[in-house]
């Protein structure tokens, strides 16, 4: 389901990232700190009073270094207007109204999108500054906040949902949705075409050819699949074209509505930080995962192949549960294994463990005797239940949830995998206190 998108725009140093971080702290969104992955936090899925939305911090993107600051900020605002459902325009109370603010406001006034004008860095509740200067922007009543100290942010979040238009539900024919994601020029579109058996998208050697996410519904036998070919994702320091920001947001949305992600890695280059980031994005959205090593035919030397696989296993160790396929989209080598692997991961993705099997698993855990101890208090497992599938999620009820640290939760995930496999599936774990005394 597509979440409403709230774009945070403004010139540099008005506190956009601080504001995004403040919302992250105040929201109840659970953040999984995956080891070994550097997180570029320019977007955030968050909620307020039970309503979900996605924030985009446009200040985290380097869009047009060749332009003046004023023109660059105006272009950022224009991009936000194109994709956002609601725009939060941040200005700085300490510097006052500047020409760059006026340039951005001109774009926003023509957008016909709801805009909240927010005056940031008002750290004193008794602020007597010149609020009225910001009326000149023509965007209505300025809202006063301090993103640093949290002043006024609750009222602002309430305004979000009184101004946020309803996002219509996407009516889609029931089918397994598979997003094909990866860095630019790793062969995503070629794989897409091979899977579809037709030339559905343009394929060439220019990175970033695919600008939008392209959906195609395919029936194989009696089963339906929805393949989503996405634009290449890059580290944000590498995003220089306007269209690549637009594509980045669309790729995130493709992952939001995907059940599974094919993470395409270029064998000739090996796994990179960007590949890690792509994998982390897909995992954080609960997608089933398959790593596809494309262009395998270009690496002939056996020792080089072994190094590539070893390097991949190290850099992608946080998704070591994901199967790895060695293919060549150009020659078709290994492509027949892709659809088989998709079906196998889908089966795991929707697998539900019976109560008797889960109870036996808990008995084994207790017999192993591994449990954290802090201040002479030992963690004791009471019972567990699988609360959902796609992806599989479990709740463990214990005597003291504070004892179940991240290491112990990784241990539980590892034991679940060794017992029940869940190949290609992220596992969600929640620790709750056993009801009663």
DSSP state string for 169-183: PP---S-EEEEEEES
Q: Model confidence at 134, in pLDDT bands (50, 70, 90)? A: very high
Q: Is 417 left (phi over 0), alpha (psi -120 to 50) or beta?
A: alpha
- The stretch 301-315 carries a mean pLDDT of 94
Helices and strands in the chain: count of H runs, count of E runs: 11, 17
Q: At 135, is the secondary structure helix, strand, or coil?
A: helix
Give CA–CA dist 371/379, Å, rounded. 6
Q: Answer yes or no: are the C-beta atoms of 40 and 60 closer than 8 Å.
A: yes
The predicted model scores a pTM of 0.65
Strands (DSSP E) along 137-194, which ranges? 143-144, 176-182
Instruction: Indicate whether 68 pLDDT > 60.
Output: no
With DSSP H G I counted as helix, E B as strand and the rest as coil, what are the percentages for the chain, rounded to 5? Answer: 35, 20, 40
Q: What are phi and psi of 227, to 5 degrees?
A: -95, 135
Q: For 68-73, which contacts have Cβ atoms below 8 Å and span 24 or more sequence positions?
A: 69/11, 69/12, 69/100, 70/99, 70/100, 70/103, 71/103, 73/9, 73/10, 73/11, 73/12, 73/100, 73/103, 73/104
Q: Which residues are within 8 A (CB) of 100 and not within 5 positions of it... i.e. 6 or more apart?
A: 11, 69, 70, 73
**pLDDT tens digits, residue range 173-226?**
678 999 998 877 888 888 988 887 755 454 554 454 444 556 788 877 778 888
**pLDDT tens digits, residue range 372-383?**
898 889 999 999
Give CA–CA dist 363/370, Å, rounded. 12
What pLDDT does residue 394 have?
96
Instruction: Indicate whether 388 pLDDT > 90.
Output: yes
> Other C-beta atoms within 10 Å of 304: how many?
14
- The stretch 425-429 carries a mean pLDDT of 95
Three-state SS for 291-319 is EEEECHHHCCCHHHHHHHHHHHHHHCHHH
What pLDDT does residue 26 have?
42
What pLDDT does residue 59 have?
54
Better pLDDT: 311 or 3: 311
In the numeric block, which tokens belong to residue 300? 């002939």
Instruction: Indicate whether 165 pLDDT > 90.
Output: no
> Other C-beta atoms within 10 Å of 395: how many?
15
What H or E segment, with its residue span, contains residue 279? helix 273-284
% residues pLDDT > 70 (the chain): 77
What pLDDT does residue 91 have?
93
- The stretch 91-105 carries a mean pLDDT of 89
> Other C-beta atoms within 10 Å of 178: how many?
28
**pLDDT tens digits, residue range 5-48?**
888 888 888 888 888 888 764 433 223 333 332 223 355 677 77
Q: Check whether the bond before 360 is cis (ω within 30° of 0).
A: no
Q: At 230, is the secondary structure helix, strand, or coil?
A: coil
What pLDDT does residue 169 have?
54
Instruction: Indicate whether 246 pLDDT > 70.
Output: no
Among residues 9, 177, 176, 160, which one has the least CA distance to residue 79?
9
What pLDDT does residue 23 have?
79
What pLDDT does residue 290 have?
98
% residues pLDDT > 90 (the chain): 41
Q: List residues bridging with 288 in a β-sheet.
A: 260
Q: Model confidence at 71, in pLDDT bands (50, 70, 90)? A: low
Give CA–CA dist 241/327, Å, rounded. 31
What pLDDT does residue 38 have?
24
Instruction: Indicate whether 69 pLDDT > 60.
Output: no
Instruction: Indicate whether 348 pLDDT > 90.
Output: yes
Among residues 48, 55, 53, 51, which one has the least CA distance to residue 21?
55
Give CA–CA dist 351/357, Å, rounded. 13
Q: What residue ranges define each of the domains in the chain, with the CATH number in brackets?
A: 5-163 (3.40.50.300), 176-349 (3.40.50.300), 355-433 (3.30.300.20)
Supply the mean pLDDT for the chain. 80
- How would you classify the pairing of strands 288-294 and 373-374? unpaired
Give CA–CA dist 28/155, Å, rounded. 17
Q: What are phi and psi of 356, to 5 degrees?
A: -60, -40
Give CA–CA dist 84/354, Å, rounded. 43
């Amino acid at each position: 389901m597509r979440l409403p998108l709230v774009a945070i725009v403004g010139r540099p140093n008005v506190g956009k990232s601080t504001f995004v971080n403040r919302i992250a702290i105040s929201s109840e969104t659970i953040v999984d700190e995956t080891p070994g992955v550097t997180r570029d936090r320019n977007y955030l899925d968050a909620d307020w009073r039970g309503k979900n939305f996605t924030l985009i911090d446009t200040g985290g993107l380097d869009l047009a270094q060749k332009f003046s600051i004023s023109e660059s900020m105006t272009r950022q605002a224009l991009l936000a207007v194109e994709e956002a459902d609601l725009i939060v325009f941040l200005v700085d109370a300490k510097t006052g109204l500047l020409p760059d603010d006026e340039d951005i406001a001109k774009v926003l006034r023509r957008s016909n999108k709801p805009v909240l004008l927010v005056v940031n860095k008002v750290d004193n509740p008794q602020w007597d500054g010149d609020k009225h200067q910001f009326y000149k922007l023509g965007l209505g009543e300025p809202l006063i906040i301090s993103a640093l100290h949290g002043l006024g942010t609750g009222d602002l979040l309430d305004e979000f949902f009184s101004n946020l238009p309803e996002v219509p539900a996407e009516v889609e024919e029931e089918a397994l949705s598979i997003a094909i994601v990866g860095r630019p020029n790793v062969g995503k579109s070629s794989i897409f075409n091979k899977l579809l058996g037709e030339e559905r998208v343009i394929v060439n050697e220019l990175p970033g050819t695919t600008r939008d996410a392209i959906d195609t519904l395919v029936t194989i036998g009696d089963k339906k699949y929805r393949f989503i070919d996405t634009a290449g994702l890059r580290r944000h320091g590498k995003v220089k074209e306007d269209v690549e920001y637009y594509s980045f947001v669309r790729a995130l949305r493709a992952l939001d509505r995907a059940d599974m992600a094919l993470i395409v890695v270029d064998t000739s280059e090996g796994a990179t930080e960007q590949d890690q980031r792509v994998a982390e994005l897909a995992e954080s959205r609960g997608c089933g995962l398959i790593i596809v090593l494309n262009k395998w035919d270009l690496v002939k030397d056996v020792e080089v192949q072994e190094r590539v696989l070893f390097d991949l296993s190290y850099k992608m160790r946080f998704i070591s549960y994901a199967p790895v396929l060695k293919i060549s989209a150009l020659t078709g080598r290994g492509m027949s294994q892709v659809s088989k692997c998709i079906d196998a991961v889908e089966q795991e993705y929707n697998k539900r463990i019976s109560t008797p099997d889960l109870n036996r698993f808990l008995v084994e855990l207790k017999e192993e005797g591994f449990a954290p101890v802090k201040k002479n208090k030992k963690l004791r497992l009471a019972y567990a239940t699988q609360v959902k599938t796609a992806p599989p999620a479990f709740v463990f009820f214990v005597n003291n949830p504070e004892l179940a640290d991240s290491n112990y939760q990784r241990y539980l995930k590892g034991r679940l995998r060794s017992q029940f496999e869940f190949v290609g599936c992220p596992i969600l774990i929640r620790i709750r206190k056993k009801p009663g005394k």
